[in-house]
Amino acid sequence: MDANRAKAIYEAKENISVKLDGEQPIWIEHVDVENQMATVQIGNNPLETHTVRVDRLVES
């Protein structure tokens, strides 16, 4: 996915399913469009956040 799509998903009012590497469900918490990075929450655990390249995110 590209950073602009990740940002659009983050800003969307509806829930859009996204997975990290096509496997783990995530929630997008922040998108850095300039650097092509996103901060994501893995699953339902608010303490498990990671900053990853947006190209690892897959809309499902």
Return phi, psi of residue 47, to 5°. -90, -10
Q: Output the pLDDT for position 1.
A: 96
Tokens representing residue 25 in the block: 């469900």
Q: Output the pLDDT for position 46.
A: 87
Based on DSSP, count helices (H) and strands (E) in the chain, helices before strands.
1, 5
Q: Output the pLDDT for position 35.
A: 98
pLDDT in tens, 5-58: 999 999 999 999 999 999 999 999 999 999 999 999 998 888 999 999 999 999
Look at residue 60 and tell me whether its pLDDT is greater than 90. no
Global confidence as pTM: 0.90
